[in-house]
Structure 1
Amino acid sequence: MRFSTKTATVAAAFTAVLSLTALGSAASAATPAAKSTPVTCTAATTKVTVQQVDRPLNHLLLKAKNTGTKTCYAYGAPYLRFDEGQAATPWLDASKPQAVVTLKPGQSAYAAIATSSPEGSEGSQAHELEVHFSNRAMNGSVGDPAAAELPQGGVYVDSSAFVTYWQTSASDALVW
Protein backbone atom coordinates (compact mmCIF):
# COMPACT_ATOMS: atom_id res chain seq x y z
CA MET A 1 0.00 0.00 0.00
CA ARG A 2 2.79 2.38 0.89
CA PHE A 3 4.41 1.61 -2.40
CA SER A 4 1.34 2.52 -4.45
CA THR A 5 0.74 5.71 -2.43
CA LYS A 6 4.35 6.70 -2.96
CA THR A 7 4.08 5.81 -6.65
CA ALA A 8 0.89 7.85 -6.96
CA THR A 9 2.56 10.84 -5.29
CA VAL A 10 5.59 10.61 -7.59
CA ALA A 11 3.32 10.21 -10.61
CA ALA A 12 1.27 13.26 -9.58
CA ALA A 13 4.42 15.33 -9.05
CA PHE A 14 5.81 14.16 -12.39
CA THR A 15 2.54 15.07 -14.13
CA ALA A 16 2.60 18.51 -12.50
CA VAL A 17 6.16 19.11 -13.69
CA LEU A 18 5.26 18.01 -17.21
CA SER A 19 2.24 20.32 -17.19
CA LEU A 20 4.31 23.27 -16.03
CA THR A 21 6.95 22.48 -18.64
CA ALA A 22 4.28 22.32 -21.34
CA LEU A 23 2.82 25.62 -20.15
CA GLY A 24 6.28 27.18 -20.15
CA SER A 25 6.90 25.91 -23.67
CA ALA A 26 3.57 27.25 -24.83
CA ALA A 27 4.28 30.59 -23.19
CA SER A 28 7.74 30.84 -24.73
CA ALA A 29 6.33 29.82 -28.10
CA ALA A 30 3.71 32.56 -27.76
CA THR A 31 6.26 35.17 -26.72
CA PRO A 32 7.64 35.85 -30.25
CA ALA A 33 4.11 36.20 -31.60
CA ALA A 34 3.21 38.46 -28.71
CA LYS A 35 6.11 40.80 -29.51
CA SER A 36 5.20 43.38 -32.10
CA THR A 37 6.38 42.42 -35.54
CA PRO A 38 7.52 45.20 -37.87
CA VAL A 39 4.98 46.58 -40.33
CA THR A 40 5.27 48.47 -43.60
CA CYS A 41 5.58 52.23 -43.12
CA THR A 42 2.46 54.07 -44.28
CA ALA A 43 1.06 57.58 -44.04
CA ALA A 44 -1.01 56.38 -41.07
CA THR A 45 2.12 55.62 -39.03
CA THR A 46 4.52 58.31 -40.22
CA LYS A 47 4.71 62.08 -40.41
CA VAL A 48 6.05 63.31 -43.74
CA THR A 49 7.75 66.68 -44.18
CA VAL A 50 9.62 68.40 -47.01
CA GLN A 51 12.49 70.80 -46.55
CA GLN A 52 14.21 72.96 -49.13
CA VAL A 53 18.00 72.59 -49.03
CA ASP A 54 20.80 74.86 -50.26
CA ARG A 55 22.92 72.03 -51.66
CA PRO A 56 22.66 70.27 -53.97
CA LEU A 57 20.84 72.85 -56.07
CA ASN A 58 17.23 72.18 -57.06
CA HIS A 59 16.77 69.55 -54.34
CA LEU A 60 14.31 68.96 -51.55
CA LEU A 61 14.73 66.69 -48.53
CA LEU A 62 11.82 64.39 -47.74
CA LYS A 63 11.63 63.10 -44.18
CA ALA A 64 9.35 60.33 -42.90
CA LYS A 65 9.24 60.00 -39.11
CA ASN A 66 7.75 56.86 -37.56
CA THR A 67 5.01 58.16 -35.26
CA GLY A 68 3.53 54.71 -34.65
CA THR A 69 4.11 52.28 -31.80
CA LYS A 70 5.65 49.54 -33.95
CA THR A 71 8.88 49.34 -35.93
CA CYS A 72 8.19 49.86 -39.63
CA TYR A 73 10.02 49.16 -42.88
CA ALA A 74 10.47 51.94 -45.45
CA TYR A 75 10.66 49.83 -48.60
CA GLY A 76 12.26 51.11 -51.78
CA ALA A 77 11.62 54.76 -52.41
CA PRO A 78 8.56 56.94 -52.06
CA TYR A 79 6.19 57.29 -54.99
CA LEU A 80 5.79 61.03 -55.50
CA ARG A 81 3.02 62.83 -57.30
CA PHE A 82 3.37 66.57 -57.85
CA ASP A 83 0.07 68.43 -58.28
CA GLU A 84 -2.15 66.38 -60.58
CA GLY A 85 0.71 64.58 -62.34
CA GLN A 86 -0.17 61.35 -64.08
CA ALA A 87 3.14 59.56 -63.50
CA ALA A 88 5.14 59.03 -60.34
CA THR A 89 8.55 60.67 -60.10
CA PRO A 90 11.21 58.11 -61.17
CA TRP A 91 13.41 56.44 -58.55
CA LEU A 92 17.18 56.90 -58.78
CA ASP A 93 18.39 53.29 -58.97
CA ALA A 94 21.98 54.23 -58.08
CA SER A 95 20.78 55.31 -54.62
CA LYS A 96 19.47 51.88 -53.61
CA PRO A 97 20.78 51.02 -50.12
CA GLN A 98 22.10 47.58 -49.19
CA ALA A 99 19.22 46.90 -46.81
CA VAL A 100 15.65 47.99 -46.19
CA VAL A 101 15.47 51.07 -43.97
CA THR A 102 14.02 50.03 -40.61
CA LEU A 103 12.44 52.68 -38.41
CA LYS A 104 11.83 52.18 -34.72
CA PRO A 105 9.20 54.51 -33.23
CA GLY A 106 10.58 58.05 -33.33
CA GLN A 107 13.21 57.35 -36.01
CA SER A 108 13.21 58.88 -39.49
CA ALA A 109 14.00 57.91 -43.08
CA TYR A 110 15.13 60.40 -45.71
CA ALA A 111 14.90 60.71 -49.48
CA ALA A 112 16.27 63.44 -51.74
CA ILE A 113 14.09 64.89 -54.46
CA ALA A 114 15.82 66.47 -57.43
CA THR A 115 13.23 68.82 -58.92
CA SER A 116 14.93 70.08 -62.08
CA SER A 117 18.16 70.31 -64.05
CA PRO A 118 19.45 72.09 -67.17
CA GLU A 119 18.75 68.89 -69.14
CA GLY A 120 15.08 68.87 -68.11
CA SER A 121 12.15 70.05 -70.17
CA GLU A 122 8.41 70.62 -69.86
CA GLY A 123 8.63 72.14 -66.39
CA SER A 124 5.97 73.77 -64.26
CA GLN A 125 5.50 75.19 -60.79
CA ALA A 126 4.16 72.51 -58.42
CA HIS A 127 2.18 73.45 -55.31
CA GLU A 128 1.13 70.06 -53.92
CA LEU A 129 2.97 66.81 -53.24
CA GLU A 130 1.49 63.41 -52.47
CA VAL A 131 3.82 60.82 -50.95
CA HIS A 132 2.90 57.15 -51.38
CA PHE A 133 4.80 54.46 -49.48
CA SER A 134 6.05 51.43 -51.40
CA ASN A 135 4.89 47.92 -50.66
CA ARG A 136 7.37 45.15 -49.88
CA ALA A 137 7.55 43.97 -53.49
CA MET A 138 8.26 47.58 -54.55
CA ASN A 139 5.75 47.30 -57.37
CA GLY A 140 3.05 49.55 -55.97
CA SER A 141 2.01 51.62 -53.00
CA VAL A 142 0.38 50.70 -49.72
CA GLY A 143 -2.16 52.69 -47.74
CA ASP A 144 -3.37 56.21 -48.36
CA PRO A 145 -0.93 58.87 -49.53
CA ALA A 146 0.51 61.51 -47.22
CA ALA A 147 0.26 65.16 -48.18
CA ALA A 148 3.60 66.93 -47.86
CA GLU A 149 3.66 70.71 -47.73
CA LEU A 150 5.97 72.20 -50.34
CA PRO A 151 7.94 75.40 -49.68
CA GLN A 152 6.00 78.66 -49.93
CA GLY A 153 5.16 79.42 -53.56
CA GLY A 154 5.81 75.84 -54.67
CA VAL A 155 8.77 74.40 -56.56
CA TYR A 156 9.72 74.17 -60.20
CA VAL A 157 9.61 70.54 -61.41
CA ASP A 158 10.64 69.35 -64.86
CA SER A 159 11.15 66.06 -66.73
CA SER A 160 14.54 65.44 -65.08
CA ALA A 161 13.05 65.14 -61.58
CA PHE A 162 13.87 62.01 -59.53
CA VAL A 163 13.67 60.72 -55.97
CA THR A 164 16.22 58.60 -54.13
CA TYR A 165 15.52 55.43 -52.25
CA TRP A 166 14.87 55.86 -48.52
CA GLN A 167 18.10 56.41 -46.58
CA THR A 168 18.91 56.31 -42.86
CA SER A 169 20.36 59.83 -42.80
CA ALA A 170 19.75 63.15 -44.49
CA SER A 171 23.39 63.35 -45.59
CA ASP A 172 23.17 59.94 -47.30
CA ALA A 173 20.04 61.04 -49.15
CA LEU A 174 21.54 64.36 -50.29
CA VAL A 175 24.64 62.71 -51.80
CA TRP A 176 22.57 62.17 -54.94
Structure 2
Amino acid sequence: MSITGTFERQDSERNLFMTAVNTGDKTCTLYYYPIVRFVTDTEVQPPPMESPARAAATIRPGEKAYAAVRLFREGGSRTENKPSVKVFFHDRTVNDEVGGPVTVKLPDGGSLNVDSNPMVTFWNLDAAMVKSYMFKVH
Protein backbone atom coordinates (compact mmCIF):
# COMPACT_ATOMS: atom_id res chain seq x y z
CA MET A 1 0.00 0.00 0.00
CA SER A 2 1.19 3.47 -0.86
CA ILE A 3 -0.47 6.62 0.51
CA THR A 4 0.03 10.13 -0.80
CA GLY A 5 -1.23 13.26 0.94
CA THR A 6 -2.27 16.41 -0.90
CA PHE A 7 -3.80 19.79 -0.08
CA GLU A 8 -6.47 21.65 -2.01
CA ARG A 9 -5.32 25.20 -2.83
CA GLN A 10 -8.48 26.86 -1.57
CA ASP A 11 -8.34 24.98 1.73
CA SER A 12 -5.35 26.73 3.42
CA GLU A 13 -3.93 23.30 4.33
CA ARG A 14 -6.68 22.60 6.89
CA ASN A 15 -7.35 19.12 5.50
CA LEU A 16 -4.98 16.48 4.24
CA PHE A 17 -6.55 14.50 1.39
CA MET A 18 -5.11 10.98 1.23
CA THR A 19 -4.99 8.65 -1.74
CA ALA A 20 -4.21 5.01 -0.97
CA VAL A 21 -3.05 2.85 -3.87
CA ASN A 22 -2.97 -0.93 -3.71
CA THR A 23 0.60 -1.59 -4.87
CA GLY A 24 0.40 -5.32 -4.15
CA ASP A 25 -0.77 -8.19 -6.29
CA LYS A 26 -3.84 -9.13 -4.21
CA THR A 27 -7.14 -7.43 -3.52
CA CYS A 28 -7.03 -5.37 -0.33
CA THR A 29 -9.84 -4.21 1.95
CA LEU A 30 -9.52 -1.00 3.94
CA TYR A 31 -11.90 -1.21 6.88
CA TYR A 32 -13.65 1.78 8.45
CA TYR A 33 -11.26 4.76 8.59
CA PRO A 34 -7.49 5.25 8.65
CA ILE A 35 -5.78 5.03 12.02
CA VAL A 36 -3.68 8.18 11.85
CA ARG A 37 -0.70 8.91 14.08
CA PHE A 38 1.43 12.02 13.75
CA VAL A 39 4.30 11.38 16.16
CA THR A 40 4.54 7.96 17.77
CA ASP A 41 3.14 4.55 16.94
CA THR A 42 1.30 4.49 20.28
CA GLU A 43 -0.37 7.93 20.39
CA VAL A 44 -4.15 8.12 20.40
CA GLN A 45 -5.52 8.32 16.88
CA PRO A 46 -7.95 10.98 15.70
CA PRO A 47 -11.58 9.82 15.82
CA PRO A 48 -13.76 9.49 12.72
CA MET A 49 -15.95 12.33 11.55
CA GLU A 50 -19.59 11.78 10.76
CA SER A 51 -18.67 11.43 7.11
CA PRO A 52 -20.45 9.09 4.72
CA ALA A 53 -19.59 5.86 6.52
CA ARG A 54 -18.52 2.69 4.82
CA ALA A 55 -17.66 -0.52 6.57
CA ALA A 56 -14.97 -1.20 3.98
CA ALA A 57 -13.40 -0.07 0.72
CA THR A 58 -12.11 -2.99 -1.35
CA ILE A 59 -9.47 -2.22 -3.97
CA ARG A 60 -7.80 -4.51 -6.47
CA PRO A 61 -4.13 -4.11 -7.44
CA GLY A 62 -3.59 -0.63 -8.88
CA GLU A 63 -6.93 0.72 -7.61
CA LYS A 64 -7.36 3.60 -5.16
CA ALA A 65 -9.30 4.50 -2.03
CA TYR A 66 -9.55 7.91 -0.39
CA ALA A 67 -9.84 9.50 3.04
CA ALA A 68 -9.09 12.89 4.57
CA VAL A 69 -7.77 14.23 7.85
CA ARG A 70 -9.07 17.49 9.27
CA LEU A 71 -5.84 18.95 10.65
CA PHE A 72 -7.24 22.12 12.21
CA ARG A 73 -10.21 24.46 12.25
CA GLU A 74 -9.93 28.13 11.35
CA GLY A 75 -9.82 30.12 14.59
CA GLY A 76 -9.58 26.93 16.63
CA SER A 77 -6.97 25.90 19.16
CA ARG A 78 -3.26 26.46 18.69
CA THR A 79 -1.55 24.17 16.19
CA GLU A 80 1.64 22.16 16.50
CA ASN A 81 3.96 21.29 13.64
CA LYS A 82 4.07 17.54 12.94
CA PRO A 83 6.92 16.32 10.71
CA SER A 84 5.18 13.17 9.48
CA VAL A 85 2.03 11.11 9.53
CA LYS A 86 1.61 7.34 9.55
CA VAL A 87 -1.49 5.37 8.70
CA PHE A 88 -2.32 2.07 10.34
CA PHE A 89 -5.25 -0.11 9.30
CA HIS A 90 -8.24 -1.63 11.07
CA ASP A 91 -8.90 -5.33 10.78
CA ARG A 92 -12.51 -6.47 10.35
CA THR A 93 -13.15 -5.41 13.96
CA VAL A 94 -12.76 -1.69 14.55
CA ASN A 95 -9.64 -0.83 16.58
CA ASP A 96 -8.00 -4.21 15.90
CA GLU A 97 -4.94 -3.15 13.90
CA VAL A 98 -3.59 -5.26 11.09
CA GLY A 99 -0.37 -4.93 9.11
CA GLY A 100 2.38 -2.40 9.53
CA PRO A 101 2.09 1.37 9.23
CA VAL A 102 2.43 3.27 5.96
CA THR A 103 4.15 6.65 6.07
CA VAL A 104 2.12 9.17 4.10
CA LYS A 105 4.08 10.98 1.39
CA LEU A 106 3.46 14.65 2.15
CA PRO A 107 3.44 17.43 -0.45
CA ASP A 108 6.96 18.73 -1.09
CA GLY A 109 8.23 16.54 1.78
CA GLY A 110 6.73 19.14 4.14
CA SER A 111 5.15 18.92 7.56
CA LEU A 112 1.65 19.46 8.94
CA ASN A 113 0.05 21.97 11.31
CA VAL A 114 -2.32 20.04 13.58
CA ASP A 115 -4.57 21.32 16.37
CA SER A 116 -5.73 19.40 19.44
CA ASN A 117 -8.81 17.95 17.70
CA PRO A 118 -7.91 16.35 14.35
CA MET A 119 -10.47 13.98 12.82
CA VAL A 120 -10.58 11.54 9.90
CA THR A 121 -13.14 10.48 7.32
CA PHE A 122 -13.99 6.91 6.48
CA TRP A 123 -12.26 5.26 3.52
CA ASN A 124 -14.22 5.77 0.33
CA LEU A 125 -13.85 4.71 -3.31
CA ASP A 126 -15.12 8.10 -4.52
CA ALA A 127 -12.56 10.93 -4.24
CA ALA A 128 -15.16 13.58 -5.09
CA MET A 129 -17.41 12.45 -2.24
CA VAL A 130 -14.58 12.73 0.32
CA LYS A 131 -13.57 16.17 -0.98
CA SER A 132 -17.11 17.53 -1.12
CA TYR A 133 -17.75 16.35 2.44
CA MET A 134 -14.56 17.95 3.78
CA PHE A 135 -15.31 21.30 2.18
CA LYS A 136 -18.99 21.19 3.20
CA VAL A 137 -18.16 20.95 6.92
CA HIS A 138 -16.12 24.18 6.97
Pairwise same-fold verdict (TM > 0.5):
yes
For 1:167, the equivalent position in structure 2 comes to 124
Which residue identity does 1:154 align to in structure 2?
S
For 1:4, the equivalent position in structure 2 comes to none
8 Å CA contact 2:19–2:65 kept in 1: the answer is yes
Q: Cα distance 1:142–1:124, how it changes in 2: closer, same or farther (>3 A)?
A: same
Highest relative contact order (Cα 8 Å, sep 6+), 1 or 2? 2
In the alignment, the residues of structure 1 paired with residue 95 and residue 110 of structure 2 have an alpha-carbon distance, to the nearest angstrom, of: 32
For 2:114, the equivalent position in structure 1 comes to 157
Q: What CA deviation, in whole Å up to 9, does each residue of 1:27-84 have, x standing for no partner? A: xxxxxxxxxxxxxxxxxxx111111222444111111101111111110000000123
For 2:3, the equivalent position in structure 1 comes to 48
Q: Cα distance 1:94–1:52, how it changes in 2: closer, same or farther (>3 A)?
A: closer
Counterpart among 66, 71, 74 of residue 115 in structure 1: 71
Please identify which structure carries the higher helix content: 1
Output aligned runs, 1:57-72, within 5 Å. 57=12, 58-72=14-28
Counterpart among 118, 127, 135 of residue 83 in structure 2: 127
How far is the alpha carbon of 1:95 from its aligned partner? 2.9
For 1:87, the equivalent position in structure 2 comes to 44
Please identify which structure carries the higher strand content: 2
- Percent identical among aligned pairs is 32
Which residue identity does 1:72 align to in structure 2?
C
Please give the root-mean-square deviation of Cα atoms over the aligned residues, in Å. Answer: 1.8
In the alignment, the residues of structure 1 paired with residue 101 and residue 77 of structure 2 have an alpha-carbon distance, to the nearest angstrom, of: 27
Which structure has the greater CA radius of gyration?
1
In the alignment, the residues of structure 1 paired with residue 52 and residue 11 of structure 2 have an alpha-carbon distance, to the nearest angstrom, of: 15
Point out where structure 2 has 5 or more consecutive residues left out of the alignment. none
| Matched positions, count | 130
TM-score, normalised to structure 1, is: 0.67
TM-score, normalised to structure 2, is: 0.84
Output aligned runs, 1:100-111, within 5 Å. 100-111=56-67
